[in-house]
């Protein structure tokens, strides 16, 4: 499955935030592994996520308070 930001269309390996974040995890992890395991906006059903800049540009969407759900990229 192709893992891409829904805003800019970039893969995790193309985004510095994930290349830096993965340095704190096992050496076998790639930026894509990081997104799949740690990125809160990651949608397991389709591989979409929102990088920080795109998430902010979208107005930082969230599920309604108390819903018990987290927002994931469509």
Digit-coded pLDDT (tens) for 48-71: 999 999 999 999 999 988 898 899
Residue 37 lies in a domain: yes
**pLDDT reported for residue 42:** 98
Q: DSSP secondary-structure letter at 4?
A: E
Domain range holding 39?
Answer: 4-57
Report CA-CA distances (Å) from 42 to 11, 38, 66.
Answer: 12, 8, 20
48 within some domain: yes
Report the candidate in 47, 53, 49 with the shortest Cα–Cα distance to residue 72: 49
Q: Could you tell me the sign of the dihedral formed by the alpha carbons of 21, 66, 3, 29, in that order?
A: positive
Q: Is the pTM of this model over 0.85?
A: yes
Q: pLDDT band at 40, cuts 50/70/90?
A: very high
Q: What percent of the chain has pLDDT over 70?
A: 100
What's the structural domain count of the chain?
A: 1
Q: Is residue 24 part of a domain?
A: yes
pLDDT of residue 41: 97
- Is residue 26 assigned to a domain? yes
Residue 10 and residue 21 in contact, taking contact as beta carbons nearer than 8 Å: no
- Whether 19 maps to a domain, the answer reads yes
């Amino acid at each position: 499955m192709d893992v891409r930001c829904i805003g800019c269309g970039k893969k995790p390996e193309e985004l510095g935030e994930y290349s830096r974040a993965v340095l704190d995890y096992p050496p076998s992890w790639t930026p894509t592994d990081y997104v799949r395991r740690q990125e809160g906006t990651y949608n397991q059903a389709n591989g979409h996520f929102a990088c920080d800049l795109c998430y902010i540009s979208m107005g930082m969407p969230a599920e309604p308070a108390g819903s018990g759900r987290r927002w994931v990229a469509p």
